[in-house]
Chains A and B, each alone.
Chain A
Amino acid sequence: MKRGRERKKETQTTSSSPPAKPKDLTQTLPDSGGMDELLEVLGYKVKSTDMADVAQKLEQLEMVMGEDGVSQLADTVHYNPSDLSGWYQSMLSEINNTGSDGVSSSVDFDITLPGDASTTMIDFSNNNVTNGQQTSNMYDDDPYDLRAIAGGAIYGISSTDESLEDRNGIKRMKSAGSDEIIDVPPESPRPVVLVDSQEAGIRLVHTLMACAEAVQQNNMKLADALVKHVGILVASQAGAMAKVARYFASALAQRIYKIYPRESLEDLHMHFYESCPYLKFAHFTANQAILEAFAGATRVHVIDFSLNQGMQWPALMQALALRNGGPPAFRLTGIGPPQPDNTDALQQVGWKLAQLADTIGVEFEFRGFVANSLADIDAGMLDIRPTDEEVVAVNSVFELHRLLSRPGAVDKVLNSMKDMKPKIVTIVEQESSHNDTVFLNRFNEALHYYSTMFDSLESSALTQSNTLDLEMSEVYLGRQICNVVACEGTDRVERHETLTQWRTRMNSAGFSPVHLGSNAFKQASMLLALFAGGDGYRVEENDGCLMLGWHTRPLIATSAWQPGSVVET
């Protein structure tokens, strides 16, 4: 087994290097995938070959965008602002097609802000739809310290050396033998958010890190000593960092002593749903995309890859019920794992939803499928009806990553998804890289991620009286931590990957993105402001997807897809 070699770095990082010499103004830098690199670094995607063309569109837009144009454009729905060409084009089309219907040109979505002249309020409980619209109108003192952890040696490694490209086109490094320290750079950026950085807690994190590194090097004696030391340090700490540290220490201990945790029994989903906005955001944004896809359909079929308590569906059903022209017939297929006591949990959820459907006047059909793995389900079992009769949406919230624990499973499921002939596929996943082949990288990523999660929970705690939900949410997250750190192979199911990684996978599997727009963004932001408790939550738009984060750290990402390759325009 070979170590990653030190890449010979250019001198650009030394202080004595001269500044970049002025270049020919029209020259663009070597591109990455055809995109102009200078603009890409700033978050904008423009093909180098298109620069002049896009500049021209921008000029035209400036010229035709008078005062009337501005108010019209400001109130339409915008998509994917990174794609400058597409964005300018959509606005140009908008102005040239003044008077077209199907566009929400007269509705001001803005919530009342101080000094805000508009006073339109949106009724969140009913997801009201206004007339004439097809699309839905539905928008230092602290006692603890969050220490940041930079990963283990991360410099100077060429990622093209000795990398394996797995089936999903994601490069991986071979893992080291027992004595070697891994010099492997993490695949994704490691965004660290510290809150009121204090001195206390340094040693705690330092010790956790050192312990993880000892485990990586297979030095279990050292790891054992360190994990015990963490236990002592944690005893004197309070707050989010201490809680996180306890879970990580416990997970490390289990890994060291090879006491692998059994699959947990109690479903803590509801508590997590209640105590913080992540699941609500996931459901809300996915539903937005589904609603738009269902526009005009008379029969719809949602396939939910992890039904749980079915909390996502009442809101969707209500929105459908209030739709202009009346609701479609709504069919729900819910998939879930077998229950230890053999109760039919899925049917119970189906029954409750059926009762709701009855009260709001939506024709409803439910079918539950018990499966150990999504890979056990294929489209043929699901009674897929012809696409001109029924529109299908496939929905997966925090479920797809589990498939990565078995080779071939995710590919099989993505193929089955195509057989389901969905108009839209909505996916919500944790925005973090917890599936690196190198244990230490996984550990570091997870430590940052869950520190931020716990921190956000603690903030939410300040505005809640129900501490049970909060405590159970911590246990819920703690289980994930344990799985990421202590388990391996098919037991390690919390194999979270980033949006970038999922994008690659979905593109390879033959799906193209469906962009979430400014209306979904706006309403998600407003919902957070009203219901989130703790005002550190932020919504961010990322190339057509929406992410929810705590302060500057995105934590979950919602994306939407349709079968078919990306069309080059």
Chain B
Amino acid sequence: MVFMAASNEEIKPNEAKKVVPLHTWMLISHLKVSYNLLRRPDGTLRRELAEFLDRKAVANIVPVDGVYSFDVVNRTTGLFNRVYKPAPLDNNGSLHRLATGILDFESPLSSSEIVPVIIFFHGGSFTHSSANSTIYDTFCRRLTRDVQGVVVSVNYRRSPEHRYPCAYEDGWEALQWVCSRSWLVSGKGRKVYVYLAGDSSGGNIAHNVAHQAAVLGVEVLGNVLLHPLFGGERRTESERRLDGKYFVKLEDRDWYWRAFLPEGENRDHPACNVFGPRGCDLAGIKFSKTLVVIAGLDLVQDWQWEYVEGLKRFGHDVKVLFLEKASIGFYFFPNNEHFCKLMEELKRFLKG
């Protein structure tokens, strides 16, 4: 097949394919190519084409692999949360045969055990994907099954149509909703044992909601940030070293920040550069313990390390899971060691 370079870029040999597992490589490359088609230079997005290309999954109250799901829509906002629950087991550990099969909104999750409820914010650089995107529906199902807790995936508003602080507001709304569901309560404490989690921009949202919760005294038991999206004006070493190497170009990152942050703002805005020159003060508040998962092939990692250092400086409990050879999106497939390490660490984090 004859092809020509259509631009002045040198053709780099595809290093990524040598290091990244094949399935992950294919999916993330596919998304990269798709997203390239969607971004316009003027900062707008081809939203209909984006929705056409995005694969979606329906919820399903028939358990599949031990997990069932259903969507709850907020009539006022038109936004929905997708709730995933493990299918109940009977005393023998087999799948429980529901006599009437009604979704129960009256009983707590458990009156004796603590059942974690994880509010999950999907990634997509604030712009792409939805809670019902198949890649995220599948991930949330696996998460639900592996931690045996409830996962609530939030369909927050996206940029460029809805900039900062919309996603954060929707995240806050979701936290309040979850905390007020009697059917998400568990344990002898009879409360909702809530965690916040997210990948990429979802991790950024999780931090922000956790911050708000800490300030307002709402108890969040832990945050799990999967290669969260942070940034800043200056260029870090990892950004320079990894620019364009593993699916992501710095200029694309810049595009997404321009699309999310208020017009005229730069990347030192505290939503982006959390502990930077205009950064947050987390002193004296009860901030939830945090697990930050850093992928060694992610160009954003220096900002994630700075985030970790920032939390430590303010005396907050933070742990890092550094997966040196992992690329972004390593968790979309379960057939690799990064995924396994992630789930093991997650389970430890939720139990601790």
Contact = CB atoms under 8 A, between A and B. Distances in A.
Interface stretch (A229-237, A298-306, A377-385, A549-557): A549-557
B85 to A, nearest CB: 11
A58 B101 contact: no
Contact of A12 (B21, B65, B344): B65
Interface string A151-181: 1111110000000000000000000000000
A19 to B, nearest CB: 5
A551 B70 CA distance: 12
Given A25-B22, A194-B70, A62 B27 contact: no
A154 B62 CA distance: 7
B337 interface: yes
Interface in B161-193: 161
Interface string A538-553: 0111000000000111
B324 interface: no
A69 B46 contact: no
Contacts of A82: 55
A199 B104 CA distance: 10
A551 B71 contact: yes
Most central of B51, B73, B148 by chain A CB within 10 Å = B73
Contacts of A535: 78
Interface string B96-115: 11111111011000000000
Contacts of B25: 55
A70 B37 contact: yes
A189 interface: yes
Interface string B32-55: 111011101011101111011101
B122 to A, nearest CB: 14
B97 A183 contact: yes
A522 B73 contact: no
Interface string B58-90: 111111111010111111101010100011010
Contact of B66 (A12, A63, A84): A12
Given A44-B55, A60-B3, A202-B106, A13 B95 contact: yes
Which residue, A20, A46, A66, A192, has most C-beta atoms of chain B within 10 A?
A192
B86 to A, nearest CB: 8
Given A20-B335, A65-B6, A78-B49, A151 B101 contact: yes
Given A55-B25, A117-B40, A213-B100, A536 B73 contact: yes
A261 interface: no
Contact of B102 (A46, A58, A209): A209
B90 to A, nearest CB: 10
Given A42-B138, A551-B80, A58 B33 contact: yes
Interface residues of B, number: 93
Contacts of B161: 113-115
A195 interface: yes
Interface residues of A, number: 104
Contacts, number: 281
A371 interface: no
Given A19-B343, A74-B37, A194-B71, A69 B60 contact: no
B253 interface: no
Kindly name the residue among B9, B65, B103, B333 whose own CB sees the greatest number of chain A CB atoms within 10 A: B103
A14 B89 contact: yes
Contacts of B105: 147, 197, 199, 202
Contact of A540 (B4, B21, B56, B62): B56
A158 to B, nearest CB: 13
B102 A148 contact: yes
Contact of B62 (A150, A206, A541): A150
B235 interface: no
A568 interface: no
Contact of B65 (A13, A81, A147, A183): A13
B55 A43 contact: yes
B58 A189 contact: yes
B80 to A, nearest CB: 6
B238 interface: no
B170 to A, nearest CB: 15
Nearest to A27: B335
A25 B71 contact: no
Contacts of A213: 100
A366 B33 CA distance: 48
Given A20-B340, A142-B75, A156-B97, A66 B9 contact: yes
B75 A189 contact: no
A428 B87 CA distance: 34
A81 B58 contact: no
A59 interface: yes
B17 interface: yes
Contact of A39 (B27, B74, B94): B27
A129 interface: no
Contact of A153 (B33, B97, B106): B97
Nearest to B98: A150
Contacts of A20: 334-335, 340
A148 B61 contact: yes
A60 to B, nearest CB: 6
Interface in A411-462: 444, 459
B322 interface: no
B134 interface: yes
Contacts of B132: 552
Contacts of A199: 105-106
A16 B69 CA distance: 21
B96 to A, nearest CB: 7
A43 B65 contact: no
Given A38-B23, A58-B29, A196-B74, A154 B98 contact: yes
B95 to A, nearest CB: 4
A247 interface: no
Contacts of B56: 43, 540, 552
Among all A-B residue pairs, the 7 with the closest Cβ atoms: A43-B55, A66-B6, A13-B66, A66-B7, A150-B101, A191-B58, A189-B60
11 contacts: A20-B335, A22-B336, A42-B134, A42-B135, A62-B29, A62-B32, A73-B37, A92-B1, A152-B98, A196-B73, A553-B71
Given A25-B21, A63-B3, A63-B11, 7 more contacts: A14-B93, A66-B7, A78-B52, A189-B64, A194-B71, A195-B72, A552-B71
